Amino acid sequence: MTTTTEHDLPVHTETKRRLSSIGLLTLTCIILLMSAMWRVVDVFVLQLGNTWMNILPSKLGPLTVILTVVWVYRRNEIESVLGLSKKHLRPLVLSGLLVGFSVFFLVIVGSTVAYGLFVNPEYSLSLSVVYPSLLLYSFFFFFVNAVFEETLFRGMLQNSLRQKMAVRRAILLSAIVFGFWHACWPMANGAPPTEWVSMILLSGLLGAMFGVYYERFSLRTSLVGNIVAHTLINFLNEGFKVGSEGSVQGPDFSFNDPVLMGMMAMAFIVVFSFYLVLFSKRTVVDMERALLQLRATLVRESQSQRA
């Protein structure tokens, strides 16, 4: 019993030393490579995107690895790198809801409705729920997906890159990797290369917005806002349809009609530009202060009415 413990102790100590001292960028690249391989297996080999479970294993598995490694060997990076913090919780949740709903309704719904009303009147506009019996599971899936992708791309990748280069370049490079990360879906669905490019560009723009949101607005204190917005955008987009496009595995934005795709891209650029300006001038601290002032005003009005 004693011999085994003495023999195992140096191995455990060496493992702990390596995982705690390895560079953040190196660790991120290792986890990113592992996650990509797991993703390829789930999407192309097992084709889990066509099942009710979706590709949950390639989300939950790497996320578990990330949380375990950081919690056991690099606990001081839970907040500073992974962004899992309660700081500014209420304003970040509220801002995440605003970002998520605005992107869905203004970009996805708005461009689709505008296309059906003004460009192609024959385009069917009807609200439908995709797999209503799986809505609860779908929300859980996209929440896990958001936690995984935000901690990996904005938390680990963007934070590790900003240690090596300027912040803007770190956000841009992280967004590019995030864009290519989503190229597997049009590939798996047999779409032409033009749709691969469209998916990469659209996902890359979204990744850039999330990067600026985390860096500028959230002041790198927490990824809660990102996670809320990311969850909402994916859940609403894949669970509720206002057009005639059928659902396919993965993010099923419409790339079949170049006009509709162009309108959606322009709408997103407008929304992205708005948030880019907003995030550069206002932070979560400003929002928190405004909410406190609003609350104080409402309390005073309530007290004056009672008097």
pLDDT tens, residue order, the chain (307 aa): 545 554 555 666 777 777 778 999 999 999 999 999 999 999 999 999 999 999 999 999 999 999 999 999 999 999 999 999 999 999 999 999 999 999 999 998 999 999 999 999 888 888 889 889 999 999 999 999 999 999 999 999 999 999 999 999 999 999 999 999 999 988 988 888 888 888 899 899 999 999 999 999 999 999 999 999 999 999 999 999 887 665 444 455 555 678 888 898 899 899 999 998 999 899 999 999 999 999 999 998 888 887 6
Which letter, b or e, does each residue of 155-185 get, where b requires 16 or more Cβ atoms within 10 Å of its Cβ?
bbbbbbbbeeeeeeebbbbbbebbbebbbbb
Q: Tell me what pLDDT residue 249 has.
A: 46
pTM over 0.85: yes
- On whether residue 257 sits in a domain, the answer given is yes
- On whether residue 304 sits in a domain, the answer given is no
d(CA 202, CA 197): 9
What pLDDT digit, counting tens, does each position of 91-112 carry? 999 999 999 999 999 998 999 9
Question: In 3D, which of 16, 33, 29 has the Cα closest to residue 74?
Answer: 16
CB 111, CB 260: distance < 8 Å: yes
- On whether residue 168 sits in a domain, the answer given is yes
Q: Tell me what pLDDT residue 130 has.
A: 87
Q: Tell me what pLDDT residue 8 has.
A: 54
What pLDDT digit, counting tens, does each position of 43-68 carry? 999 999 999 999 999 999 999 999 99
Give me the domain span that covers residue 220: 8-295
Q: Tell me what pLDDT residue 62 has.
A: 98
Domain count, the chain: 1
Q: Tell me what pLDDT residue 9 has.
A: 54
Question: In 3D, which of 114, 118, 178 has the Cα closest to residue 149?
Answer: 178
